Structure 1
Amino acid sequence: MAKLIIVVDKTQDWAPYYQYDGVMTLPAYLKWSAKNKQRTRVINLCRQAQYLGTGYYCSLLAEARGHNVMPSVRAFNKFNRHEIADIAEEIPGSILSQLNKALAGETETPLVFNIYFGETAIKALKKVAAYLFEAFPVPILRVELQKKTSWQVKTLKIGSVNKLDEQEQNFFGNTLEKYSHKIWRLEPTNKKYKYDLAVLVDAKEKFPPCTPKSLELFTKAARKAAMDTEQIGAKDIHRLAEFDGLFIRETTSVNHHTFHMALKAEREGLAVIDDPNSILRCGNKVYLQTLFEQHKVPMPDGVLLFKQDEDNLERAADTLGLPLVLKIPDGSFSRGVVKVKTLTELRAQLTALFEQSAIILAQRYTFTEYDWRIGVLNGMALFACKYFMARNHWQIYKHGSAKTQSGGFTTCAISEVPSHVIDAALKACAPIGDSLYGVDIKQDGEKVYVIEVNDNPNIDDGVEDLYLGNKLYDLLVEDFIRRIELKR
C-alpha cells in the first residue's frame, strides 16, 4: 500500500483539516523520503508554484525519488510555457457549447471559480472541470472565464490551499477525501496483511471471467499468503493508490473503463493483471494476426480486408477458399465472428461487418471438435482445457435470441498436453508480455494453429481449476506477490 504524503510550505496551511501524520513541509519530506523506501504518493500543496519555487522543487525531487506526485513536473511546465493559451483554444466545441449553455443566465464577467481534483462546486460546469483537470492535473486549478460574444477560458492558474475561504475549504477537504481515500483510513497497529490487492469485478456482467466461487477461492489463497483482497468497481478508480496490486476480473476492452483503470494503476506503481499493454495487444485480432506473422507463430492463413478496397470478395475467396471465417478486430465470446459458405453470404457479411470496423480479418476455416485453451502466466503454462464446440454449431459459444449455449470441457494436466501445443502457446505469448493469458489453439494432427490470445482468461471453479484445485489460486497469488515485490 502506498504511503500518502501531503507537502505544504507552512504547517498552518493544513490547520483547517483533519490532522494526519503524512502532512509535512518540503524539508521534512526530503528527510523522510531519504530514510523510507516504500511506495509513496505525494500531493504537492506548496504555495510557490512558479519555476524554481518550492512547489516546482517538491515535484521535481519527488519524481527523482520515484514517487508518484501531483502536480507532476510536466504539469508545472505547462504553466511556465505558453501551453495554457493553446489548450484554451483547443477546447472542443461540445465543451464550449456546454459551458455557454450552463452560463446562459450569468451576467457577471469575468467569472472565477476553482477546480479541486477535477471537481467544482458549480454543478453545471462539471464536464468543463473534468476536461480542464485532464489537461492540467493539479490539486487546485483556478479558472477565469470571460464573456465577449460567448464564454471562453481566459486564464488558468495553480490555486493555493492557504487562500481558500471556509466554504472552499470544506469542498476541498471533501474532494480530497474522495480522491485520496487513504488519508482518512487509520491503519491498524497490528495489521494482519502485508499486501493489499484490488479485484475489479462487475456483478452485472453476463459472462464474467470468474465465478463467485472462484473469486472466493482466490481470496482464501491470498489471505493465507498475508494478502488482503477487496472487490472494487469502476467508480473506485480514485482509490487505486490504496492498493499494491490490481487484478482485473472483468471482461476488458480498450475503449472501456477496464483499460483506463489498468493505465492508472500502472502509473500509480501497482502490479497489474491485466496490464494495459496486454489489453491493447490482445484486444485486437488484426494486431495479433500481424504480430504472429512477424514472430512466426503458427496460425490459420489469413487476409486483411479493407473497407475501401473493391477486390475484397475475390481476394478472400481466391486466397482462402470457401467456407471461410470473418472476424471483427475486437470481438469476444464468439461475437463478431461469422462463417460464410458462399460468395453471396460473403458479400452480405462483409457489408454488415464493415459497418463496425474499417478492417476485417478473413481466415481459412478449420473444423475441430474442440479448441485447446492453455493458461499461461509469466511465460509458463498454468492450466490446460479442451473447450468443445456447442451442439450442432462450429463455435464454442452459440448465441441465440433467448439464450447463449456453450459446449462441454475437459481439464487436463499440462503433462498430458502435446508438447507442440504448449510450445505454440508460449511462443504466441512471448511478444505480448508476461501477464496472465488464455491461448486458444486448434490441433489438426501434428499441425497446430493459434487462434487468439486472451488477456483476461476465464478461471472458473470446476473448470480451469479442476486439475490443480486450490494450487491454481496459490500460484496466482504467488505471482502477484512476486510482481509487487519487484515494484518496491
Structure 2
Amino acid sequence: MAKLIIIVDKAQDWAPFHQYDGVMSLPAYLKWSAKQKQRVRVINLCRQSHYLGSGYYCSLLAEARGHHVMPSVRAFNKFNRHEIADIADEVPQALLQQLNKALTEETTCQLTFNIYFGETEHKALKKVASFLFEAFPVPILRVELQKKITWQVKTLKIGSVNKLTETEQSLFGNILEKYSHKIWRLEPTNRKFKYDLAVLVDPKEKFPPCTPKSLELFVRAAKKAAMDVEQITARDIHRLAEFDGLFIRETTAVNHHTFYMAQKAEREGLAVVDDPSSILRCGNKVYLQTLFEQHKVPMPDGLMLFKQDEDNLERAADSLGLPLVLKIPDGSFSRGVIKVKTLTELRSTLVTLFEQSAIILAQRYTFTEYDWRIGVLNGQAIFACKYFMARNHWQIYKHGKAKTESGGFSTCAVNEVPAHVLDAAIRACAPIGDSLYGVDVKQDGDKVYVIEVNDNPNIDDGVEDLHLGNKLYDILVEDFIRRIELKR
C-alpha cells in the first residue's frame, strides 16, 4: 500500500480536518524519508501555485524524489492563459449543451464553483467536472462560468484549501476521504497484506473475460501471497492511486474507458495488465497485420482495402480468391468478421463495412476445425486450449438475434502443443510487449497462421484453467508481484 503524504504551507490549513500523521510542511517533507521500496503518494495543498512558488516547488521536488504527486509539475505548467483557454474551448459541445440545460433556471450570468478531485456538489455539472479534472488534475479546481448567449467556461484556477468556507471544507474533506479512503486507516504493524490490487470489471458485460468463479479463485491465490484484491468499475477511475496494480478484466478497446484507465494507472506508477500499449497494439487488426509482416510472424495472406480505392474488389478476389474473410480492424468475439463467397457478397459487404472504417482487412480463408488459443505471459506460454467452431458455422462464436452460440473446447498442457504452434504464438507477442495475451493460431498440418493477439484473453474456470487448476492463478499473482516490485 502506498504511503500518503499531504503537504500544506501552514499547520492551520489542515486544522479543520481529521488528524493524520502524514500531514506535513514542505521542509518537513524534505527531511522525511520513506521506507525502502515504499510507494509514496503526495497531495500538494500548498498555497502558492504560481511558478517557483511553494506549491510548484513541492511538486517539483516530489517528482525528483520519485514520488507520485498531485498536482504534477505538468499540471502546474498548464495553468497559463493560452493552454487554459485552449482546454476551455475544447469542452465537448454535448457537455456544454448539458451545461446550458442544467442552468436554465439560473438568473445570474456568472457562476463560480469548485471541483474537488473531479467531483462537485452541483449534480447537474458532474460530467463537466469530470472532464475538467481529467484535463487539469488538481485537488481543488476553481471554475468560473459565464453566460453571454450560452454558458461557457470563462476561467480556471487552482483553488486553495485555506480559502475554503466552512461548508466547502466539509465537502472537500468528505471527497478527499472518498478519493483516498485508506489514509484514515491506521496501518497495523502486523499488516496482513503487502500489496493492493484493483481488478477492473463491468458487472453488466455480456461476455466478460473472466467468470465470477475464476475471479474468486484469483482472489484466493492473491490473498495467499499477501495481496489484497478489490473489484472496481469505471466509476472508480479517480481511486487508482490507492492501489499498487491494476488488472483489467473487462473487454478492452482504444476509444473506451478501459484504455483511459490503463493510461492513468500507468501514469500513477501502477503495474498494469493490460497496459495501454498492448491495448493499442492488439486493438486493431490492421496494426497487427503490419506488425506481423515486419517481424515475419506467420499469418494468413491478407490485403488492406482502402475506402477511396476503386479496385478493391478485383485486388481482393484476384489475390486471395473466394471465399475470403473481411475484418473490421477493431472487432472482437468474432464480431465484424465476415466470410464472403461471391463477388456480389464482397461488393455489398464492403459498402457496409466502409461505413464503419476507412480501412478493411481482407484475408485468405482457411478452414480448420479449431483454433489454438495460447496464453502468453511475460513471453512464456502458460496455458493452451483448442477452441472448436460453433455448430454449423465457420467461427468459434455464432451471433444470432436471440443468442450467441460458441463451440466446444479442449485444454491441454503447454508441452503437448506442437512446437511450431508455440513458437508462432510467442513470436507474435514479442513485438507487442510482455503483458498477458491470448494468441489465436490456426494449424493446417505443418503450416501455422497467427490470426490475432488478444490483449485481454479469457481466463474462465473449467476452461483455460482446466489443466493447471489453481496453479494458473498462482502464476498470474506471482507475475503481478514481480511487476509491482519492479515499479518500486
Q: Bigger shift: 176-185 or 92-101?
A: 92-101
Question: Are the aligned partners of 1:117 and 1:140 in contact in 2 as well (CA < 8 Å)?
Answer: yes
Deviation digits for residues 8-55 of structure 1 (CA, Å, limit 9, x no counterpart):
001110111111111111111111246664111111100111111110
Residues 397 and 151 (structure 1 numbering): CA distance in 2 closer, same or farther, change over 3 Å? closer
One-letter code of the match for 2:29? Y
Aligned to 1:452: 452
1 CA distance for matches of 2:90 and 2:248? 34
Question: Structure 2 counterpart of 1:479, which letter?
Answer: D
Aligned position for 1:130: 130
- Normalised by the length of structure 1, the TM-score is 0.95
Q: 1:199 to 1:148 in 2, by over 3 A?
A: closer
Contact 2:34 2:40 in 1 (8 A): no
Question: What is the distance in 2 between the residues matched to 1:32 and 1:464?
Answer: 47
Moved more, 345-354 or 3-12: 345-354
Between the aligned partners of 2:100 and 2:9, the Cα distance in structure 1 is 37
One-letter code of the match for 1:391? R
Q: Structure 1 pair 199/134, CA: closer, same or farther in 2 (3 Å)?
A: closer
> How has the CA–CA distance of structure 1 residues 94 and 214 changed in structure 2, closer, same or farther, with 3 Å as cutoff?
closer
Query: Percent identity between the aligned chains?
Result: 85
| Residue 161 (str. 1) matches residue 161 (str. 2) | yes
Contact 2:321 2:364 in 1 (8 A): yes
Write the letter of the residue equivalent to 1:282.
Answer: C
Determine helix, strand or coil for the equivalent of 2:32.
helix
CA contact (8 A) 1:117 1:179 kept: yes
Q: Which residue of 2 aligns with 1:191?
A: 191
Task: Note closer, same or farther for the CA distance 1:357–1:179 as it changes in structure 2 (3 Å cut).
Answer: same
Aligned equivalent of 1:348? 348
Q: Corresponding residue for 1:436?
A: 436
Is the alpha carbon distance of 1:97 and 1:469 closer, same or farther for their aligned partners in structure 2, counting shifts above 3 Å?
closer
8 Å Cα contact 1:199-1:247 kept in structure 2? yes
Distance 1:93-1:257 versus aligned 2 partners, 3 A rule: closer
Alignment correspondent of 1:270 = 270
Query: What code does the residue aligned with 1:404 have?
Result: T
Q: Does 1:416 align with 2:388?
A: no
Q: CA deviation at 1:479?
A: 0.8
2:79 aligned counterpart, secondary structure: helix
Residue pairs, 1:151-300, within 5 angstroms: 151-300=151-300
Is it true that 1:478 corresponds to 2:467 in the alignment? Answer: no
The alpha carbon displacement at 1:109 in A equals 4.6
Report the aligned-residue RMSD.
1.8
* Corresponding residue of 1:113: 113
Amino acid at match of 1:306: F
Superposed displacement of residue 181, structure 1: 2.2
Instruction: Give CA-to-partner distance per residue, 1:281-323, whole Å, 9 cap, x none.
Output: 1111111011101111100000111122221111111110000
The answer to whether the Cα contact below 8 Å between 2:145 and 2:155 also exists between their aligned partners in 1 is yes
Q: Which moved more, 1:112-121 or 1:430-439?
A: 112-121
Counterparts of 1:399 and 1:80 in 2: how far apart (Å)? 52
1:40 and 2:40 equivalent? yes
- Match in the other structure for 2:328: 328
Change (3 A) 1:49 1:368: same
Structure 2 CA distance for aligned equivalents of residues 83 and 313 of structure 1: 47
In structure 2, how many angstroms separate the alpha carbons of the residues matched to 1:412 and 1:97? 55
Kindly state the Cα deviation for residue 122 of structure 1 after the two structures are TM-superposed: 2.7
Rounded Cα–Cα distance in structure 2 between residues aligned with 1:337 and 1:108: 54
Maintained 8 Å contact 2:374/2:438: yes
The separation in 2 between residues aligned to 1:35 and 1:210, in whole angstroms, is 36
How many residues end up aligned between the 2 structures?
A: 488
Deviation of residue 198 (structure 1)?
Answer: 1.5
Aligned CA distance change for structure 1 residues 27 and 36 (closer, same or farther; 3 Å): farther
SS of aligned partner of 1:338: strand
Q: Residues 392 and 101 (structure 1 numbering): CA distance in 2 closer, same or farther, change over 3 Å?
A: closer
Q: 1:93 to 1:406 in 2, by over 3 A?
A: closer
Instruction: Say whether the 8 Å CA contact 1:145–1:155 is kept in structure 2.
Output: yes
Report whether the alignment pairs 1:10 with 2:10. Answer: yes
In structure 1, how many angstroms separate the alpha carbons of the residues matched to 2:287 and 2:33? 43
| 1:376 corresponds to | 376
Q: CA deviation at 1:99?
A: 3.6
Q: Deviations over 1:422-477 (max 9, x none)?
A: 11001100000000111000111111100000111111222212222222111111
TM-score, length-scaled by structure 2: 0.95
Matched to 1:122, the amino acid is: H
Report the secondary structure of 2:386's partner residue: strand
In the alignment, is the contact (CA less than 8 A) between 2:117 and 2:238 conserved in 1?
no
Letter in 2 for 1:112: T
- Contact 1:9/1:47 (<8 A) preserved: yes
Q: 1:400 to 1:67 in 2, by over 3 A?
A: same
2:463 partner amino acid: V
The residue number in structure 1 matching 2:78 is 78
Structure 1 pair 449–143 and aligned structure 2 pair: CA distance change class (3 A): same
Counterpart Cα distance in 2 of 1:408 and 1:197 = 33
Unaligned runs of 5+ in 1: none
Distance 1:83 1:165, change over 3 A: same
Q: Deviations over 1:145-195 (max 9, x none)?
A: 344444443332211101111111111112212222222334344211211
Compared with structure 1, are the counterparts of its residues 93 and 217 closer, same or farther at alpha carbon in structure 2 (3 Å cutoff)? closer
Paired residues of 1:425 and 1:450 also in contact (CA < 8 A)? yes
Match of 2:31 in 1: 31
Amino acid across the alignment from 2:3: K
Task: Give distance in 1, aligned partners of 2:91 and 2:476.
Answer: 44
Give 5+ residue unaligned stretches, structure 2.
none
**C-alpha separation in 1, matches of 2:214 and 2:467:** 14
Partner SS state of residue 334, structure 1: coil
Name the counterpart of 1:50: 50
Letter in 2 for 1:221: A
Shift in Å, 1:80: 4.5
Question: Which secondary structure state, in structure 2, belongs to the residue aligned with residue 395 of structure 1?
Answer: coil
Displacement of 1:126: 2.9
CA distance in 2, matches of 1:135, 1:418: 50
Partner Cα separation in structure 2 for residue 104 and residue 410 of structure 1: 61
Q: Aligned equivalents of 2:220 and 2:239: distance in 1?
A: 23
